[in-house]
Structure 1
Amino acid sequence: MLNYRILNTLRRPGLKADEDQNCGSYLVCDQRDKSKTKYVMKIIDLEDFTNLNDFIRDILWYKQLNHQNLMSLRDCFLIDTKLHLVKPYASFGSCTDLLFAHPFGVREQLIAHIMWQLLQALRYLQDRHVMHRGVSSKNIYLCDDGRVLLDNFSHCISMISPFDGRLRRQIYDYTDDLKDELLYLAPEIIFQNAEGYNFKSDVYSLGSVACELANGSNAYLDMPFGHLSMLYAKVQGSEPILLDQTQLTDEMIALSDENSSAYVEEIKKRRYSKEFHSFVKSCVSTRLESRCTVDDLLTHPFVKHPRKISNDPQLVAEDMAKLLGSYKDKQITQMSTTIDQILDRSNNEYNSINLSWEF
């Protein structure tokens, strides 16, 4: 702890300053590091928890996994009853933070870059027979060097049976913790039927995130009757779609009001490529046999540009950083604020789950 200097406190709404001392997130730098690289430190008082298995499991996953598009755990130590977890700081925050600043969605080119890097992360996990089961906008972080990091391994599960060591084609595990990802979960996970689910379920979640980044919000957010309507829609075969001028109907225009009229006007102006529509359709099909695999998506025309320059990781990062930089400039110019202030405001609005790291 003495090696880390606290630069700022990432406060949760409703918590007083003295409560933050017991459990909170901090922006820190390592005093031994001359580059003064920023990190996020989360301090958790273990006395407040009766079951520590989740923390142990998460730390073990971080130690087992190592990929440039997966969030890493830089440091982990215990002082008295307080667990300290140190991770890289992503200055652009999560994809949810990006959408908070751009509620009508972000550019297709940026989404293609994000999808390409996430596919690399999923490919790495699948090579190790691991399902993520938590691919969602709040668990995807954007660094200023152009890297995209997939975080939160609390829902990860191995496809290798713990009983006989054999590789399973399908799994049937469902825990109450998965309810946190209901908006992004594939229908087959929610159904909990005898057919089970597999790696393609992560692909469905990926497609949901792509739609959310393009549309500005999740397709199943704020539905009447909450999660019940969402569950019913997925059971009935509803699939997320990209909202652009090709999908805008007279009914949508007629139902728009003062709150949604600006969004409808935005939809009228934009037209996504047929490759993007095809990519999303390939991801979110409710039928497993029609849904693409990660390998299929890695050769999809939608990610043609990042794939073309993928032999040079530095070039990919620079291209991605350039796209993110345009958003940063736009935010500073139009909103007269910095990206850190945007993250702080998003943190206050969304109970901090979007700003810092989920453990």
Structure 2
Amino acid sequence: MSFLDCSCISSHSQVQPISIEDQYEDVSQQCLGSDVPVCSVSGSADDLSSLSSDPSHYHLLSELGKGFSNLSCVSMARHKPTGRLVAVKTTNLDECTEEELLHLMNEVLLSRLFRHPNLLTSRLVFSSNSQLWVLSPLMDYGSADSLLRSFFPDGMSESLIAYLLYGVLRALEYLHHMGYVHRGVKASHILLSGDGRVCLSGLQSVYSMMREGKRVKAVFDMPQYSPALLPWLSPELLRQDLHGYGVKTDIYSLGIVACELVSGRVPFQDMPPTLMLLQKLRGVHCCLLDVPLGELGGLKVSRSGVDSGIGESVTTGGSLTRTTTTTTTTTTAERPQSPGPKNHSATLHNLVQLCLQQQPEHRPSASVLLGHAFFKQVKRHTRDSFLSLMYPALPLSSPPDTPPSCPTTPSSHTPSPTEEQTPPDGLWDFS
């Protein structure tokens, strides 16, 4: 049953939620290999089946951001009968072109197909008066990009970076084994819930690696609306040659995200698109600069126009040039590492180097990277200990009278009936 068949595009009257689970209920079992553990379906936090499909039952509290080329508006809303806070994305279907409608259809169908705790999916979709409503759980802390801009302009601590990237890798492992490549991994698509669950969004760029029931090694499609994704795209995807690209393109994007979370700056972002393409194809790599905190603002911009997170290899074969580091131990047995001087660990350097290999066959898979030494700290600590590193950032649903000197815990995430909060530092980026 297609999205078009549900009359969600042409009808101006309210319809029932789209139900396609029956069609795809066994897909994950068919696509996942026997050696891959089947991930449990997201728990009650993602269960929106008890909510109604009547727009009048929702009170839109504040606008969180824009998406889908500014055709969609994402808002925080409260379901009046239950008081539950959700995220609502509304799109005016009358303003969409036929191509945009098909693109929107694909995103909705994929969002309802996937079931994984680290993927942000939509289980409730309905239309009313030419407006498409897509409901998803509210990610109270917003995106990693908004957190960088508002609270961590010089980058996050390694422990927090490890926690976020580990959740992204779990989502990528699931997608890749399902036969899909994400193609849109970036900080604005990494969301964090109030209870510390990391979710990967941006399913509009997901592309299938399955052809006639068989998995292919390479595909050749260029992502829609790719100009906004250029800094994160891999060389082989940008090259658009006969070799194509595969799921390892997501691993390269993960390496770019790691640099983004470390420095608070997006590598390659300040470069003209043509120069960016040439630099990537020539083997220019991102490198982590080990500098004392406070000196980041004085770093010089290279002649090519890139920010200080870019360094060109000086060795043959385009290998990554790394800075010699002296790792300082700032952790205790009770809690993970707090933000400190920019002395990056050898394991983080190695992770970035592995992800940004020029040749995709030299990059590890998502499953292999989950066992990387950099992520050992994730297994040693609890969600609460990582959430303590989020301070001074507070979840949107936290009470307004939370003491400023006390970082929030999941137990304090009870919404206030009159609460109407807006994201700090402007609207969030959902593109």
Amino acid at match of 1:229: L
Amino acid at match of 2:79: D
Measure the CA separation in 1 of the matches of 2:182 and 2:199. 13
**Structure 1 pair 254–209 and aligned structure 2 pair: CA distance change class (3 A):** closer
**1:4 correspondence with 2:68:** no
- Mapping of residues 309-348 of structure 1, within 5 Å: 309=380, 316-325=382-391, 327-328=393-394, 343-347=423-427
The answer to whether the 8 Å contact 2:63/2:422 transfers is no
2:254 to 203, 206, 222: 206
The answer to whether the 8 Å contact 1:74/1:88 transfers is no
The answer to whether the 8 Å contact 2:116/2:174 transfers is yes
1:57 to 106, 112, 120: 106
Measure the CA separation in 1 of the matches of 2:164 and 2:277. 27
Percent identity of equivalent pairs:
28
Measure the CA separation in 2 of the matches of 1:153 and 1:76. 15
Measure the CA separation in 2 of the matches of 1:11 and 1:106. 22
Measure the CA separation in 2 of the matches of 1:23 and 1:179. 18
Report the 3-state secondary structure (helix = DSSP H, G, I; strand = E; otherwise coil) of the residue aligned with 1:272.
coil
Counterpart of 1:152?
A: 202
Counterpart of 1:235?
A: 281
Amino acid at match of 1:322: S
Measure the CA separation in 1 of the matches of 2:116 and 2:249. 21
Q: What RMSD in Å do the two structures reach over aligned CA positions?
A: 3.0
Task: Give the structure with the higher percent helix.
Answer: 1
Amino acid at match of 1:8: L
Amino acid at match of 2:426: S
**1:286 correspondence with 2:358:** yes
| Mean CA deviation greater in 281-290 or 112-121 | 281-290
Amino acid at match of 2:354: S
Q: TM-score, normalized by length of structure 1?
A: 0.79
Deviations 1:149-185 (A, max 9, x none): 1001111111111xx3221011122244333211100
Amino acid at match of 1:319: S
Report the 3-state secondary structure (helix = DSSP H, G, I; strand = E; otherwise coil) of the residue aligned with 1:245.
coil
Q: 1:320, CA displacement in angstroms?
A: 3.0
Amino acid at match of 2:59: I
Q: 1:242, CA displacement in angstroms?
A: 1.4
| Mean CA deviation greater in 3-12 or 187-196 | 3-12
Amino acid at match of 1:98: L
Report the 3-state secondary structure (helix = DSSP H, G, I; strand = E; otherwise coil) of the residue aligned with 2:126.
strand
**Structure 1 pair 316–126 and aligned structure 2 pair: CA distance change class (3 A):** farther
Q: 1:241, CA displacement in angstroms?
A: 1.4
Counterpart of 2:162?
A: 112
Larger RCO, structures 1/2 (Cα 8 Å, 6+ apart) = 1
Report the 3-state secondary structure (helix = DSSP H, G, I; strand = E; otherwise coil) of the residue aligned with 1:194.
coil
Counterpart of 1:38?
A: 85
Q: 1:105, CA displacement in angstroms?
A: 0.5
Q: 1:194, CA displacement in angstroms?
A: 1.4
The runs of 5 or more residues in structure 2 that have no matched partner are 1-53, 309-339, 396-403, 406-419
Larger Rg: 2
**1:180 correspondence with 2:228:** yes
Counterpart of 1:140?
A: 190
1:297 to 345, 356, 369: 369
Measure the CA separation in 2 of the matches of 1:157 and 1:175. 8
**Structure 1 pair 199–25 and aligned structure 2 pair: CA distance change class (3 A):** closer
Counterpart of 1:16?
A: none
Measure the CA separation in 1 of the matches of 2:84 and 2:270. 39
Deviations 1:59-98 (A, max 9, x none): 1101110111100214211112111111111121111101
The answer to whether the 8 Å contact 1:4/1:28 transfers is no
- Number of residue pairs the alignment of both structures matches: 313
Counterpart of 2:115?
A: 66
Amino acid at match of 1:200: K
Amino acid at match of 2:94: E
Measure the CA separation in 2 of the matches of 1:2 and 1:180. 32
Amino acid at match of 2:172: L
Report the 3-state secondary structure (helix = DSSP H, G, I; strand = E; otherwise coil) of the residue aligned with 2:203.
coil
Deviations 1:172-231 (A, max 9, x none): 2224433321110010000011111111110011111111000111111213xx212211
Q: 1:316, CA displacement in angstroms?
A: 4.3
The runs of 5 or more residues in structure 1 that have no matched partner are 14-19, 262-267, 310-314, 334-339
1:197 to 245, 250, 263: 245
Report the 3-state secondary structure (helix = DSSP H, G, I; strand = E; otherwise coil) of the residue aligned with 1:213.
helix
Amino acid at match of 1:302: F
Q: 1:4, CA displacement in angstroms?
A: 3.3
Q: 1:243, CA displacement in angstroms?
A: 2.1
Counterpart of 1:312?
A: none
Measure the CA separation in 1 of the matches of 2:213 and 2:123. 30
Q: 1:239, CA displacement in angstroms?
A: 1.2
Measure the CA separation in 2 of the matches of 1:62 and 1:122. 14
The answer to whether the 8 Å contact 1:160/1:167 transfers is yes
